[in-house]
Amino acid sequence: MAAMTTGNASRADANRRRILEVALAELLRDPDASMDQIARAAGVVRRTVYGHFPSREALISTLVDGAVEAVTTAHAAGREGVADPAEAVARSTLAVWEIADRYRILVALAQRSVTVQGIRDRLAPVRAACAGILARGLEQGVFESPLPPRALAYVHEQMLFALMEAVNEGVLTAREAGPSAAVTLLTTAGVPASRAAELVARLSD
């Protein structure tokens, strides 16, 4: 009986992962994809999808949670062991963009279903880490801004959201968006444009 229960749980977990993977792919292809479309693409019946996610909003919210977790991990990996604040901002931004580009359509979708405040709450650890890097850079004179570190971290976060929207709208290519984002965040923190561009170009090679 225990083996049967374990087997059922494993199948349920596999179905859930499959639904999430397919849902992300379908939503990237068609942001208005319905639960029926997602079920068909995942090779399961509609009831199975609703068994894991009671609504489309709940499904998108779960995808956003996964995206935030991936972004948090990428941001930490990008800044790990980097002493120079400017390089830490550049590396972490480039690392985050590799992840964020895959999930960027979720920003627009999540603003409809998760609420902007919900997204901000989920990103609080990343924002705190950014504020720490910015504070160190301001203290060292690497950065220069009229804004305190926490406020500047909010500005950087919103600029990344804006750049994701620019890619979604086709006014910026996904290929150039990552380096452009890194240069933009550095210049916003007061790094001269030429130095920012040189640093990001070196790190992007």
pLDDT tens for each residue of 144-191: 999 999 999 999 998 988 888 888 888 999 888 999 999 999 999 999
Residue 22: pLDDT band by 50, 70, 90 thresholds?
A: very high
Residue 7's pLDDT band (boundaries 50, 70, 90)? low
The reported pTM is 0.80
**Residue 151 identity:** A
